[in-house]
Amino acid sequence: MLRYITTENQAIPLPRCALLWSPWVDMTIKALLEMDQHRNYKSDYIEYDFGSWGASSYIPPGWSDSNPYLSPLGSEYRLSVPLFIEVGTSEVLYDNIVLFAHNMREKGTEVELREATNGVHATFGIADTLGMSEVAIDGHARGARFNARTGGD
């Protein structure tokens, strides 16, 4: 959405910041096929079938899976909106998310990357089940502080 607002429809006001939890930044079939080779594959619940279902549900017919609106990794740009990004250190998307955060910083975007120790994809959603409530609470508290610091309400 931020890419669309900044490149296509500048009449829409930008938010003061954006909070991203475990963003899926590479929806390409290549990334899906490499998923089972990732060192965190056995520690996360994201696997090929889940990823394939997600991609086929999200990618519009006729669109390339590498379209920057769908797979922003590799198409980073300077964004005036500060980003808070949380990633679990045990999630299969970890490397791509960290690389995306790094690349956005390199382009001049303010990025705060929070690495949730032993967290899986979207840890906050299953934190109680995993016995990791404190990790989710800390992540939300850090996100709230980022929001307050960057001018959000």
Question: What's 6's domain CATH number?
Answer: 3.40.50.1820
- Average pLDDT of each block of 10 consecutive residues along the chain (153 residues)? 86 93 95 94 92 91 93 95 97 98 98 96 89 92 95 66
Q: Is 152 exposed, middle or buried (0-12, 13-18, 19+ CB in 10 A)?
A: middle
Range of the domain at 104: 2-149
Q: Give the global pTM.
A: 0.93
Task: Please tell me the total count of domains within the chain.
Answer: 1
Closest CA to 119 of 134, 107, 105, 99: 134
Cβ atoms 123, 135 nearer than 8 A: yes
How large is the angle between the packed helices 133-149 and 123-130, nearest 10 degrees?
150
Extract the tokens encoding 105.
């910083």
Other CB atoms within a 10 A radius of the CB of residue 45 amount to 11
